C-alpha cells in the first residue's frame, strides 16, 4: 500500500488549508455549470460535517479550501464527501460513468494567525495566479467577494498588505 507523502496529521479544533486536485490535473471543471456542481458538493460536505468554511476557490483542475474542523479524524471523510459527490455528478453530466475524477488531497494545519491570513489571501488570488481573471472581484468561484461584502474592501486590501501571498505549490515528489 502506497503511503501519502507527506503523511496526513489530524488535529482536533484546528484550521486546515486543503488542496484537492483532479486526476492528472485534467481541467474537468471547465464550465460554470461544473464549478457550481463542485461548489454544491463543498457546501453539502460543510453542512453535514459541522465544519466552518473560512475561504474557498474552485478552478478547472483543483480547489483550495480553508476550513475549521472539530475532529481531526473526520477530515478524510469530509474530503471524500466533496470528491465522491462531485465526481459522480460530474461523470453523470459528462456521460462518463466510472471515470476517475480526483487524484488526492493535500492538507496543512494552520500554525498561527499570519499563516491563516496568508493562506486565505492565496486562495483569493489563485484565480489571478492561474490566469482566469485579472481582478479577483470578477471571479465567481471564490470566497473573495463574500469577504468584500462582509468585511469591506478596505479590510480586504489591508489583509493583503499585511499578509502577502506566497506560493504553496506542493514540493516536487510529494504529489
* Residue 59 belongs to domain with CATH number: 3.30.70.1290
Looking at the domain assignment, is residue 71 inside a domain? Answer: yes
* Residue 150 pLDDT grade (very low, low, confident, very high; cuts 50, 70, 90): very high
Looking at the domain assignment, is residue 21 inside a domain? Answer: yes
Looking at the domain assignment, is residue 109 inside a domain? Answer: yes
Q: What is the pTM of this model?
A: 0.90
d(CA 153, CA 135): 13
Angle 153-162/144-151 helices, nearest 10 degrees?
Answer: 120
| Domains of the chain: total | 1
pLDDT of residue 132: 95
Looking at the domain assignment, is residue 44 inside a domain? Answer: yes
Looking at the domain assignment, is residue 170 inside a domain? Answer: no
Looking at the domain assignment, is residue 2 inside a domain? Answer: no
Amino acid at each position: 500500500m502506497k503511503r501519502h507523502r507527506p503523511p496526513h496529521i489530524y488535529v482536533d479544533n484546528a484550521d486546515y488549508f486543503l488542496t484537492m486536485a483532479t486526476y492528472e490535473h485534467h481541467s474537468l471543471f471547465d464550465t460554470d455549470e461544473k464549478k457550481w456542481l463542485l461548489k454544491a458538493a463543498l457546501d453539502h460536505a460543510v453542512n453535514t460535517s459541522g465544519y466552518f468554511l473560512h475561504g474557498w476557490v474552485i478552478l478547472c483542475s483543483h480547489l483550495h479550501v480553508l476550513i475549521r474542523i472539530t475532529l481531526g479524524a473526520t477530515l478524510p471523510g469530509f474530503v471524500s464527501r466533496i470528491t465522491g459527490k462531485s465526481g459522480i455528478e460530474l461523470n453523470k453530466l459528462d456521460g462518463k460513468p466510472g471515470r476517475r475524477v480526483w487524484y488526492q488531497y493535500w492538507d496543512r494545519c494552520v500554525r498561527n494567525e499570519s499563516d491563516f491570513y496568508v493562506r486565505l489571501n492565496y486562495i483569493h488570488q489563485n484565480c489571478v495566479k492561474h490566469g482566469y481573471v485579472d481582478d479577483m472581484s470578477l471571479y465567481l468561484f471564490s470566497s473573495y467577494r463574500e469577504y468584500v461584502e462582509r468585511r469591506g474592501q478596505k479590510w480586504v486590501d489591508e489583509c493583503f498588505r499585511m499578509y502577502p501571498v506566497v506560493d504553496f505549490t506542493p514540493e516536487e515528489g510529494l504529489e
